[in-house]
Structure 1
Amino acid sequence: MTDDEARTAREEWGTRFGFLMAMVGAMVGSGNIWRLPYITGENGGGGFLLVYLFLLYLIAVPGLMAETMLGRYTGRGVIGSFRSILGEGRWEGFGLVVLIVNIALMSYYAPVVGWILYYIGHSLLGTFFQPGFAAQQLWTAFAASPVLTLGTHTLAVALIGGVLLFGIRDGIERTVKWMFPALVIALLAVAIRSLTLSGATAGLAFLFTPDWNSVTRPSTWITALGQALFSTGLGWGIAVTYGSYLRKHDDVALGGGLFTAVGNTSIGLLALFAVFPAVFAFGLEPAAGSNLTFITLVQVFPKMAGGPIWAILFFLGFFFAAFTSGLAITEVGVTTVQEETRLSRKQSVLGVSLAIWLLGLPSAYSAEFLGLMDFMFGNWGLPVATLAIIVVVGWKMGPGWLLTPEWVRLTELNRNSDIYVGRWWSLIVQYLIPPIMLAIMVYFVVSNIGQQPIETAGGVVLVGIILVASLVIMSATRQRGASQTLGGD
């Protein structure tokens, strides 16, 4: 089958609205509703929020445009996209790096989706409102039960795989077209109720009164950039994969960049409005850390009029956000495996889901292991994957080395776009994002080598092994394929 025939047989998004919902749903997940509130609380509120929003639009938006455009241009998943630009050989192994990082990230993201399912169940049962309810004990009992943690992890992977079996249009698009609007409605309802509480203005003051001292701290900028990458999915291969199902005339700049960022910002702000006014209204600790949602916030609902309704709405919205992101993350592996092997869509979904389930068992069993995985792949794996994608777009894509970014911008990014993207995009993609990714990795090595030497060394070594192994595997695979071809001739 020729490339043209393969493209003709390939699925495409049914509607522009479906693609937009899928992109925003992919990028809006637990990073916005679980991670952003507690990261904001730990880093001083308004000052951190300003830095985060600045970096979101400076780095993430151009990066997402580049990643989505790469997928549309090649019409392939992550490995196929790298092969289309770099040619066959060891360098397409960078695509395998992105795939490995993606599956590793999903292996500890799936247990978090399981946590949410567990709390949805308790919100429906009214557990938070029973006499003598203790939020800390509920979480501790759950975390200490392998049956519950492994069971919810299994259920999360099964639900995601079940939707993906139906494909892009009938599975992902059909699901996100009702899940994302439902997410917005649920979060909006909870945010309005939270803002009407007595004392809610203290939460707003915390969010929108910048602590200028925090703005001057390098750690604030590094943390904010990490949050921007985590919450938008830049470098996860999602935008490449979703972009590969676009038609050639579809708008990348708007759908793959600006609209996604605006949606990401809007949901993030709704989550902050839902959490902090209520936290301050009832005198709880805003810097409670990762427990803010699962321990601190559940103590708020019993104190609110109509609390059972708000609890159900909040955790349903939380689940919709996490689930649509889980679909996108897993689809990266499904698309790539289906393209690179002779497996059918169904077989690819089952294979990738099984791999994620098996790799996720340690993270589901131990929150400490989950934290270690996030430390290693979030701090090193994700920047490496982002760097690989951005370098391909900024330095290798196009007819000439010097003209590469401008040719890409003029002929691909601005094609049929509702917004015109200027030369600033080329400069950011080529000269700003790559050194920033390198700086993130160096910063975490320097800042953590004394405090967490084993984890730091392990992260560096692990990512190095993945990088080298991927290049060797792809080189050996191509050489074996070439030998078989010559032997057959």
Structure 2
Amino acid sequence: MAESEAKTAREEWGTRFGFLMAMVGAMVGAGNVWRFPYVMGDNGGGAFVLAFLVLLFLLAVPGLMAEVALGRYTNKGVIGAFRDVLGPGGMVGLGVVVLLVNIALMSYYSPLIGWTLYYAAHSLLFTFTSSGFEAEPFMEAFFANSGLMIGLHTLVMASVAGILILGIRRGVERIVVYAVPALVVSLVIMTGYGLTLDGASEGIAFTFGIDWAYLTYSSTWIEALGQALFSTGLGWGIALTVGSYLREYDDVPLGGGVFTAIGESSIGILAALAIFPVVFAVGVEPDAGAGLAFVSLVQVFPEIPLGGILAILFFVGFFIATFTSGLLITEVSVTTVAEETRFDRTQTVLGICGLIWLVGLPSAFSADFLDFADFIFGSWGLPLATLAIILVIGWVMGPERLRVLAVNKNAGIYVGKWWDPVIKYVIPIVMIFIMGYFAVDEFGTPEMIGGMLVIILFPIIGYGIMSVVDRTATETDTAEVTGGDD
């Protein structure tokens, strides 16, 4: 009876559209508009797109189905779901790994949301179409103002906390149903204008032309793997958490896999089409790094009709999309910690947001640190967290069991037996090969060393934490039972 009441009390998505927009809204944001174009620019354009699409549909689609289904099956957050499958003890620390990666990712994602907020505010002031405006000095002055960047990081996390306190339906769902459509509209308009510019053909050629040599580079594949995971949210614990709020008749294969992957990849390529024609038209190098979207796009607004209005559409849409992703990223930790402790939702939200704010200060202080953190946690931490989820499903719970009980439950798209070996063998083998290939190829570099530290330390920390927590909980329960007999 108690278990039934607990499940009934758990919130659910109010509509199927809310669930679909939560999935896409969680994944579509800075990963598409900011990260995809600049990583693509660093890794050969069309060759990177090809590697990304291969890994997206080979790994991310079946992996997302598995993660959402695990959330639906357990109706719990990350650690609770892992404990249901593994039983209590140190191995539940694999769930802590997912949580640690999630917090690390959000710690530099929050300052990035602050960047989009700053640019959105200046778009409303028509700064980018004012006389004498120069894009690079503007960005450099912003990055040099550490106080302002920390202040924006603080404002973002305070806003995230305020909305998450309201809960799933009253807070998160009300935002996500508007965010994704707004961003798509702005990107379509940007693409339309970009394709009319001189030099647009070079941008299109860069986006879709393939330099096959790049597909032999380990850096192309590790970045494509990181992008596939970063963009779809596989390994963040987001899909698992979203899945834990599913209603009886929501569709895992459609919403959790196919719809998300198609929407995510389409918006990523749309963002590239919006950015690279502009990049080549204004003479910016395509490998300009993390500031690419913030330098190239603003240079075209003064040159086109209604450029000020277009700047508002783009940067406000960009901000809403990144902020929505931030809500869902943070909700992973909030859901998990609330279930694992005696804190209520408000206390949990404030504690988690305060921790993310603190850990995010170095990234808010330095854009260079943010860039390094993005590579370490995006290209190493995310694959580690994904492997933790996939290995638990594939080698402990069993993919066939999850497929029958949760994946195909009320599904409009039936998932056959082909899915089982993909989860158990293909995803882990491909990911481990790519990570190992890069580690050997880049042996001794700061990126390789930082990645190895994450891969070694996070599981040790997770195992240690859960060994103590679950042992203490067991001892407490035993003591209460013994005391009750006296």
1:6 is aligned to 2:6: yes
Aligned counterpart for 1:435 among listed residues 418, 429, 433: 429
Cα 1:484–1:408 change in 2 (3 A) is closer
Could you tell me how far 1:311 is from its partner in structure 2?
1.3
* Structure 1 stretches lacking a partner, 5+ long: 398-403
8 Å Cα contact 2:223/2:379 also seen in 1: no
8 Å Cα contact 1:379/1:440 also seen in 2: no
Rounded to whole Å, the distance in 2 between the matches of 1:380 and 1:95 is: 16
8 Å Cα contact 1:386/1:437 also seen in 2: no
Matches within 5 A, 1:56-205: 56-205=56-205
| SS of match in other structure, 1:165 | helix
Q: Which residue in 1 is equivalent to 2:295?
A: 295
1:481 is aligned to 2:465: no
Aligned counterpart for 1:466 among listed residues 432, 443, 458: 458
Q: Which residue in 1 is equivalent to 2:408?
A: 414
8 Å Cα contact 2:290/2:371 also seen in 1: no
8 Å Cα contact 1:31/1:227 also seen in 2: yes
8 Å Cα contact 1:72/1:248 also seen in 2: no
User: Relative to structure 2, which stretch is displaced further, 238-247 or 118-127?
Assistant: 118-127
Rounded to whole Å, the distance in 2 between the matches of 1:150 and 1:219 is: 31
Kindly provide the amino acid, as one letter, of the partner of residue 471 in structure 2: Q
Q: Which residue in 2 is equivalent to 1:220?
A: 220
| SS of match in other structure, 1:478 | helix
Matches within 5 A, 1:201-212: 201-212=201-212
Could you tell me how far 1:462 is from its partner in structure 2?
4.2
User: Relative to structure 2, which stretch is displaced further, 258-267 or 190-199?
Assistant: 190-199
Rounded to whole Å, the distance in 1 between the matches of 2:449 and 2:287 is: 29
Could you tell me how far 1:99 is from its partner in structure 2?
0.7
Q: Which residue in 2 is equivalent to 1:273?
A: 273
| SS of match in other structure, 1:297 | helix
Could you tell me how far 1:282 is from its partner in structure 2?
3.2
Could you tell me how far 1:296 is from its partner in structure 2?
2.4
Could you tell me how far 1:449 is from its partner in structure 2?
3.0
Kindly provide the amino acid, as one letter, of the partner of residue 312 in structure 1: I
Rounded to whole Å, the distance in 2 between the matches of 1:417 and 1:117 is: 39
8 Å Cα contact 1:279/1:300 also seen in 2: no
Deviations 1:247-296 (A, max 9, x none): 24321111100000111012112211211122223333223222211122
Cα 1:376–1:272 change in 2 (3 A) is closer
8 Å Cα contact 2:221/2:434 also seen in 1: no
Corresponding residue pairs, total: 481
Could you tell me how far 1:457 is from its partner in structure 2?
3.0
Q: Which residue in 2 is equivalent to 1:401?
A: none
User: Relative to structure 2, which stretch is displaced further, 155-164 or 277-286?
Assistant: 277-286
Rounded to whole Å, the distance in 1 between the matches of 2:478 and 2:80 is: 23
Rounded to whole Å, the distance in 2 between the matches of 1:303 and 1:359 is: 40
Kindly provide the amino acid, as one letter, of the partner of residue 474 in structure 1: M
Aligned counterpart for 2:445 among listed residues 444, 447, 451: 451
Could you tell me how far 1:432 is from its partner in structure 2?
1.2
Rounded to whole Å, the distance in 1 between the matches of 2:53 and 2:458 is: 32
Could you tell me how far 1:458 is from its partner in structure 2?
4.1
When normalised by structure 1's length, the TM-score is 0.94
Provide the identity percentage: 58
Rounded to whole Å, the distance in 2 between the matches of 1:235 and 1:23 is: 13
Rounded to whole Å, the distance in 1 between the matches of 2:368 and 2:396 is: 40
Cα 1:432–1:108 change in 2 (3 A) is same
Could you tell me how far 1:474 is from its partner in structure 2?
0.9
Rounded to whole Å, the distance in 1 between the matches of 2:351 and 2:453 is: 27
Could you tell me how far 1:160 is from its partner in structure 2?
1.5
8 Å Cα contact 1:190/1:313 also seen in 2: no
8 Å Cα contact 2:90/2:464 also seen in 1: yes
Could you tell me how far 1:335 is from its partner in structure 2?
0.3
Rounded to whole Å, the distance in 2 between the matches of 1:96 and 1:167 is: 23
Rounded to whole Å, the distance in 2 between the matches of 1:310 and 1:379 is: 33
Cα 1:368–1:208 change in 2 (3 A) is closer
Q: Which residue in 2 is equivalent to 1:25?
A: 25
Could you tell me how far 1:355 is from its partner in structure 2?
0.7
Rounded to whole Å, the distance in 1 between the matches of 2:450 and 2:185 is: 43
User: Relative to structure 2, which stretch is displaced further, 304-313 or 198-207?
Assistant: 198-207
Cα 1:350–1:320 change in 2 (3 A) is same
User: Relative to structure 2, which stretch is displaced further, 102-111 or 436-445?
Assistant: 436-445
8 Å Cα contact 1:85/1:396 also seen in 2: yes
Rounded to whole Å, the distance in 2 between the matches of 1:46 and 1:457 is: 29
Deviations 1:362-411 (A, max 9, x none): 110112322332233223321111101001111111xxxxxx22232233
Rounded to whole Å, the distance in 2 between the matches of 1:79 and 1:215 is: 37
Q: Which residue in 2 is equivalent to 1:350?
A: 350
Deviations 1:121-175 (A, max 9, x none): 2222222223332222111211111221101111111121221111111111111
8 Å Cα contact 1:73/1:248 also seen in 2: no
Rounded to whole Å, the distance in 1 between the matches of 2:242 and 2:139 is: 36
Q: Over aligned residues, Cα RMSD in angstroms?
A: 1.7
Cα 1:34–1:421 change in 2 (3 A) is same
Could you tell me how far 1:321 is from its partner in structure 2?
1.7
Q: Which residue in 2 is equivalent to 1:264?
A: 264
